[in-house]
Amino acid sequence: MVDPKLSDILGILPFPALAITAEEKISFMNVMAMQLFGQGLIGRHYVNALRYPNLLDAIEATLKDKELRNARYQGTIAQREVVYEVSCNFDLADHLILIFDDKSGIEDANQMRRDFIANVSHELKTPLTALIGFVETLQATAKDDPNAREQFLAIMKSEAQRMDRLIADLLSLSRVEASERVRPTQRVNLKDAVTESIEALVPLIEKSNPKLVIELSKSPIEVMGEGDQLRQVFINLLENAIKYGKNGGVITISLSEPYYEPKLRKDAVSLSVKDEGIGIDPIHIPRLTERFYRVDTHRSREMGGTGLGLAIVKHIMNRHRGRFMIDSTLGSGTEVKLLLPVY
């Protein structure tokens, strides 16, 4: 038997813990250990219950030499992958005590960092490979061909611009993330911000020629915010509506009067950008704010997209304590709605 005091302590620990006797039988498991390994294992040999080679080796060695040892354990709790660092140690009554320290958060963060670096490298490598290829062609076969030179230089310019945009978006994302916990302090006139965002997109608007329907509130609306960031949000949404909207289709931009918004439990305004474009399959919607996530990578890339636009929107809306919702029907269009508290 494990000392009742010790089992009380192990019982309330917020992570899995269990004890093994000198006869190599499991004598105690707390609730979290049962979630990890299952019930009905008390009294059984530890090898039948734990089954993870790394951990079994550590237990065997510690039972022999009674030295403190750590081992890594990977398992699943409620269909979630978990990673623990397990310390194997002896109590005074010669039980081997296993304590499981949850390292899943650190592992997840490391994985995200690795994915992010892999994504950035891949996004930069594609235009860079194209650039190198064209430079080599210009140095060799196309050296004396003025037509080819013009054509290749134009492609090279657009690939270089693509890398430039990617870097600008990454910098913008990192600035936005860094400021996310800092409350914005400017008073921003939302009607002006919307109008200025539309003006910033005039070249793109002229190219794809959407019919803009603009329904702005009658009264001026001020929120506490950061003007540059809010304009960036409107530009990103409007740019998506133009890029993924129907050529020549209607894009409706509407800004409401202030009202009591139950979702935020305070007075707010809503801003909606609605297009008549290709729409988005519902399975993609929850993932659209992930960095580099694109529904149709090819189409987005063709339009110069990096898949960072909505990730930036999400962080800015978090900072402004707002909400951001996407409602879309495949084939008939998308509406993105922002809720922003007014103070």
Which of 310, 317, 340, 342 binds ligand ATP (CB under 6 A)? It is 310
Residue 278 binds which of Mg ion, ligand ATP, none (CB < 5-8 A, kind-dependent): ligand ATP
CB count in 10 Å sphere of residue 83: 17
Token digits of residue 305 = 């997209």
Residues 6+ apart with CB under 8 A from 163: 124, 127, 128
Nearest residue to 162 via CA among 304, 21, 258:
304
x/- track of binding to ligand ATP for residues 249-288 (CB under 6 A): --------------------------x-xxxx-------x
Residue 296 binds which of Mg ion, ligand ATP, none (CB < 5-8 A, kind-dependent): ligand ATP
Indicate whether 240 belongs to the interface with Mg ion (CB under 5 A).
Answer: yes
Which of 308, 316, 339, 340 binds ligand ATP (CB under 6 A)? It is 308
Token digits of residue 253 = 């931009």
x/- track of binding to Mg ion for residues 281-310 (CB under 5 A): ----------------------------x-
Give, in degrees to the nearest 5, the angle at Cα 103 between 93 and 285.
Answer: 145
Nearest residue to 49 via CA among 70, 26, 31:
26
Which of 190, 244, 317, 339 binds ligand ATP (CB under 6 A)? It is 244
x/- track of binding to ligand ATP for residues 63-102 (CB under 6 A): ----------------------------------------
Give 280 or 342: the residue with its C-beta nearer to ligand ATP: 280
Residue number of the CB atom closest to ligand ATP: 309
x/- track of binding to ligand ATP for residues 311-340 (CB under 6 A): -----------------------x------
x/- track of binding to ligand ATP for residues 153-182 (CB under 6 A): ----------------x-------------
Residue 327's DSSP bridge partners are 335
Q: 43 in helix, strand or coil?
A: coil
Nearest distance from residue 113's CB to Mg ion, in Å?
A: 24
Stretch near ligand ATP under the rule CB under 6 A, chosen from 28-36, 117-125, 180-188, 237-245 = 237-245
Q: How many whole angstroms separate alpha carbon 37 and alpha carbon 214?
A: 59
CB count in 10 Å sphere of residue 183: 11
Pairing, β 211-215 against β 250-255 = parallel
Give 61 or 295: the residue with its C-beta nearer to ligand ATP: 295
Residue 326's DSSP bridge partners are 336
Q: 293 in helix, strand or coil?
A: coil
Residues 6+ apart with CB under 8 A from 327: 334, 335, 336, 337
Nearest residue to 230 via CA among 257, 191, 285:
191
The residue ranges that bind ligand ATP (CB under 6 A) are 169, 236, 240-241, 244, 275, 277-280, 288, 293-296, 300, 305-310, 334
